[in-house]
Amino acid sequence: MKLVFEGTEEQLENLKALVKNSKENLPEHNDNYQVNNLWHVNDVKINYVCEDEDAMDVLESALHNEATMAQIRFAIHLEADYLGLKKKSFD
């Protein structure tokens, strides 16, 4: 199987760094994942003096933070409502 990734040079470098520095198994290729907005250790290091490993720890914690997850869920609901998608009922 051959995978082809598209993006800017910076986005592809971010993806390579994510794969290289990840301490967890990444999901297998799946068209259902949205990966166009990747974060990189440099997004941390631009504002803080630290090594790549510490910056990756910051990213992992920030992206698994409950407030971050809540904001993403809020944005998903906002965009779905904007597109007129019908919300499921779980009665």
Per residue of the chain (91 residues), give pLDDT as tens. 456 666 777 777 777 777 777 766 666 666 766 666 678 888 999 999 999 999 999 988 988 889 988 998 999 999 999 999 999 998 7
Spans of all domains in the chain: 9-24+34-82
pLDDT at 1: 46
- C-alpha distances in angstroms, 26 versus 50, 69, 89? 24, 18, 32
pLDDT at 29: 62
Residues 6+ apart with CB under 8 A from 56: 21, 41
Q: Which of the 8 DSSP states describes residue 49? A: -
